[in-house]
């Protein structure tokens, strides 16, 4: 590579890195998210084009074929994917990043000369061994962990935690063995060391995700996002690719910060999340047991009358709204209420849905004004002066047991103080517990009216009765 070309490549990668930083900044707010996405796409385009047209490329056959195949798959998925399936799609993408890191590390180890990683004595540089080992291990954990998360989110396996005696000790043992093999790999580059280390990483990726219950899935998604970034950064060092290093570090660090925010939202230990030691046992206990207490049941007509005569209404959306695709009908209902002089706001819990920001994306898709959407800490104090809290598809994030029942798996999790509203209208298909397997005490409160049925149909019927 000529000095001029090297300088141009570095400049292009620098521009791409700046665009990636601008993308993260833009994605921090719904108002600027579109601009953030555009910056991210432009940065990635520059990085890909710069890499593809490097003079070090020997043949374009496989590269062009891979680009075309990837573009076809990506466009097809983007056109067909439903918003309800977005969390499992993100998990699947994380698995691809992880496997890519493993494959690149494996290729570099198998043929180090092609990557310029061999010293005068014919051995792989020690620094390169550390880089490829970290890339392979983190990538393998990301891949297998993401696959487990995907199967849970997709409903292919139960979302309940899977635990057994000595699970944490086994995870710790595997972790120590992997660390020992990594150190040994720096001394001796025997193939069995590298592949054993990688195989154990695939196993531990499964072990740290299976004990995680449904209520913790948003934290899982953000954690795997961070892992995928660090895997990419590790391989970036192996490939000596500045763009990959910067991009991976940005994704890894931002994912870690997001995981920390999610942990605060779930009242979980950040280090427990990293080690997979979170997600309580939601399969047993009084909170998840069957309950035959009576509830107050209402109709769409009742709900329409109550909300039309209210001064203020707070909407609390959850995953059930996503499943029913009720966000557009909900926005129309709220527009009708605002025309009748009712003040309408939306309350979003940081872990509502199956991935961080899930509800914000759905509401933005329905063109809900950004200034009407509030996070938990900004709106929780308003419930006690609100006439109606309209819960649509949310469950665990409104459960008072998180504050009152130390035996509950969600105890200590900050919740939306919905029960403090004068009237709570709760849209739900039935009396089944939430994704965490915990029965919601809010169902049985005197100020709660249950509206049983499909969320979209219920909202559409309420809308008709508002006229």
What residues are annotated to the active site?
Answer: 396
How far apart CA 321 and CA 173 sit, in angstroms, is 42
Contact indicator for 156, 147 with CB cutoff of 8 Å: no
Distances from the Cα of 383 to the Cα of 302, 415, 421, angstroms: 21, 12, 5
The tokens for 422 are: 């004068």
Contact 441, 400 (CB under 8 A): yes
10 Å CB burial of residue 80 (0-12, 13-18, 19+) is: exposed
Q: Six-digit token pair at 257?
A: 């910060």
Orientation of helix 167-187 relative to helix 126-154, angle to 10°: 150
Residue from 414, 413, 451, 456 nearest 84 by CA: 456
Q: Decide: helix, strand or coil at residue 13.
A: helix
Q: Are 273 and 259 in contact (CB under 8 A)?
A: yes
Name the β-bridge partners of 315.
346, 390
Cα–Cα nearest to 349, from 408, 286, 436: 436
- Token pair belonging to 303: 């709900």
**How far apart are the C-alpha atoms of 103 and 113, rounded to whole Å?**
16
Cα–Cα distance, 364 to 296 (Å, whole number): 33
**Residue 347 three-state SS:** strand
Name the strands in the sheet holding 448-452, side by side, starting at the edge strand that comes first in the sequence. 373-375, 343-348, 312-317, 388-392, 423-428, 448-452
CA quadruple 104, 73, 356, 317: dihedral, nearest 10: -170
Task: Give the DSSP per-residue string, 203-262.
Answer: HHHHHHHTT--GGGHHHHHHHHHHHHHHHHHHHHHHHT-HHHHHHHHHHHHHHHHHHHHH
Could you tell me the sign of the dihedral formed by the alpha carbons of 282, 286, 289, 292, in that order? negative
Contacts for 207 with CB less than 8 Å, ≥ 6 apart? 167, 170, 171, 174, 276
* Region of residue 116 (left: phi > 0; alpha: psi -120 to 50; beta: else): left
């Amino acid at each position: 590579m000529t000095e001029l070309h090297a300088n141009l490549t570095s400049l292009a990668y620098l521009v791409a890195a700046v665009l990636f930083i601008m993308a993260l900044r833009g994605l921090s707010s719904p108002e600027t998210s579109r601009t953030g996405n555009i910056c991210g796409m432009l940065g990635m385009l520059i990085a890909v084009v710069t890499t593809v047209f490097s003079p070090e490329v020997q043949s374009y056959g496989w590269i062009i074929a891979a680009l075309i195949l990837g573009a076809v798959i990506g466009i097809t998925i983007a056109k067909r994917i439903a918003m309800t399936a977005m969390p499992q799609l993100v998990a699947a993408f994380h698995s691809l990043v992880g496997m890519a890191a493993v494959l690149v590390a494996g290729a570099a180890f198998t043929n180090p000369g092609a990557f310029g990683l061999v010293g005068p004595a014919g051995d792989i540089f020690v620094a390169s061994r550390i880089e490829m080992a970290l890339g392979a291990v983190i990538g393998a954990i990301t891949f297998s962990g993401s696959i487990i998360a995907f199967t849970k989110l997709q409903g292919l396996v139960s979302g309940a935690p899977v635990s057994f005696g000595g699970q944490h000790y086994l995870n710790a043992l595997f972790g120590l063995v992997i660390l020992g093999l990594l150190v040994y790999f720096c001394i001796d580059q025997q193939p069995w060391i590298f592949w054993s280390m990688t195989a154990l990483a695939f196993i531990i990726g499964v072990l740290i995700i299976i004990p995680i219950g449904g209520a913790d899935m948003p934290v899982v998604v953000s954690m795997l996002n961070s892992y995928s970034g660090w895997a990419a950064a590790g391989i970036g060092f192996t490939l000596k690719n500045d763009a990959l290093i910067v991009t991976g570090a940005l994704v890894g660090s931002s994912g870690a910060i997001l995981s920390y925010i999610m942990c605060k939202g779930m009242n979980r230990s950040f280090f427990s999340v990293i080690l997979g030691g979170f997600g309580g046992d939601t399969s047993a206990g009084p909170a998840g047991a069957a309950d035959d207490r009576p509830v107050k049941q209402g109709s769409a007509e009742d709900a329409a009358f109550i909300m039309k005569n209210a001064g203020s209404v707070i909407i609390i959306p959850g995953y059930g709204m996503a499943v029913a695709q009720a966000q557009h009908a909900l926005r129309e209902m709220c527009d009708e209420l605002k025309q009748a002089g009712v003040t309408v706001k939306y309350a979003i819990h940081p872990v509502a849905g199956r991935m961080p920001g899930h509800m914000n994306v759905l509401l933005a898709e329905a063109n809900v004004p950004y200034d009407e959407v509030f996070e938990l800490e900004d709106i929780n104090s308003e419930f006690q002066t609100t006439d109606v809290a309209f819960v649509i598809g949310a469950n665990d994030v409104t459960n008072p047991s998180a504050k009152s029942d130390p035996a509950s798996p969600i105890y200590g999790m900050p919740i939306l103080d919905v029960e403090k509203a004068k009237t709570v209208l709760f849209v739900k298909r039935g009396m089944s517990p939430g994704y965490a397997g915990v029965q919601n005490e809010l169902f049985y409160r005197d100020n709660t009216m249950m509206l049983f049925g499909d969320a979209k149909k219920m909202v559409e019927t309420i809308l008709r009765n508002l006229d």
